Amino acid sequence: MEQDNRPDLNINGVGSAAGGRYRQLTIHGVGKLAGATVSDSFMVNGQVKTDGDVRTGRLHCNGHMVVGGGLSSGEARIDGMVRVRGGMNGERIYVNGGLHVRGDCEAETFQSNGWFDVEGLLNAGEMEIRIQGKCAAREIGGERIRILRGGAGGFKRLWQRIVPKLAIRLTADTIEGDDIELENTTAAVVRGNRVKIGQGCAIGRVEYRSELLAHPQAKIEQRVQG
């Protein structure tokens, strides 16, 4: 068997490193990675910026991360903020904070409890989104899509009126899936098999196959079955 002689990479404090193949990549503090990295695990506590692609088995970001290329990981847990210049894909993506993806974002499971902005297609088999801020995607597609608004206390609600970024709303051009449940969502077109439109929604056109449940306060301009 070939010997595994990949090194670990640790940055404590401020430092920078080249890209390459690593076993474990850990950054406590401020780090900069030049070039693409491939690793088993990628852990950020603090801040990191990379020039190239990041491929890893497990990503955990507590803090701020900027990826210059694409991001691909088995499991990604974002407790903080991640910005990806390219596309992102993974088995499971959990967002507790913020995520910005310039390209498409694909995962088998996508759970978000925060805000995100996907400029391309957000494609996940199982999607559960609790909107805690301004969420946006050009297109959303998947098997099961649940978009619910997150909880908001009195003060938070006050702030939301003042700062638009905090407004609890998800916007998308199209949402397509088998099982769709929406709240506080603005979309031009929603297409699905079973569709449930909850309160706070403004939908241009709903196309459904078997079932449509709409909240009386939801705004739907056009309903089409077929």
Partner 1 sequence: MSGRELISKKELLELTGISYGQLYRWKRKQLIPEDWFIRKSTFTGQETFFPRELILSRIDKIINMKEDLSLDELADKLSPYSYDLNLRKDEIIKRNIVSSVVMERFAARDPANTVYAFEQILFLYVADRLLQDGAMNLDEGELLLSVLKEHFPKFEGKACELIFIRKMGVPVFALVSMPAELHFESGAKVVARVPLAECAERLKLMLT
Site residues for partner 1 per CB under 8 A: 89, 106-108, 123, 125, 141-144, 173-174, 176-179, 188-189, 191-193, 204-205, 207
Nearer to partner 1, 64 or 138 (CB): 138
**How many CB atoms within 10 Å of residue 74?**
14
Please report how close the Cβ of residue 140 comes to partner 1 at its closest, in angstroms. 9
Shortest distance, position 136 Cβ to partner 1, whole Å: 15
Token reading at 117: 């902005």
CA-wise closest residue to 109 among 137, 133, 57, 74: 74
Comparison of 149 and 191: residue with beta carbon closer to partner 1: 191
If the CB atoms of residues 45 and 174 are measured against partner 1, the closer one turns out to be 174
Question: How far apart are CB 115 and partner 1 at their closest, in Å?
Answer: 23
Token readout for 57 is 């088995």
d(CA 179, CA 208): 10
Structure tokens at 131: 């909107």
Q: Is 162 exposed, middle or buried (0-12, 13-18, 19+ CB in 10 A)?
A: exposed
Distances (CA, A) of 79 to 112, 115, 130: 10, 11, 15
Looking at beta carbons only, is 46 or 90 nearer to partner 1? Answer: 90
CB contact at 8 A, 38 and 22:
yes
Query: Shortest gap between Cβ of 198 and partner 1 (angstroms)?
Result: 20
Residue 68 vs 141, nearer CB to partner 1: 141
Q: Nearer to partner 1 by C-beta: 177 or 198?
A: 177
Task: Report helix, strand and coil shares of the chain as percent, to nearest 5.
Answer: 5, 75, 20
Backbone phi and psi for residue 86, each to the nearest 5 degrees, phi listed first: -100, -140
Nearer residue to partner 1 within complex by CB, 34 or 188 = 188
CB of 108 to partner 1, least distance (A): 7
Minimum CB separation of residue 123 from partner 1 in Å reads 5
Which residues are CB-contacts of 213 (< 8 A; sequence separation ≥ 6)? Answer: 195, 196, 197
To which residue do tokens 């903080």 refer? Answer: 80
Least spacing, CB of residue 188 vs partner 1, in Å = 5
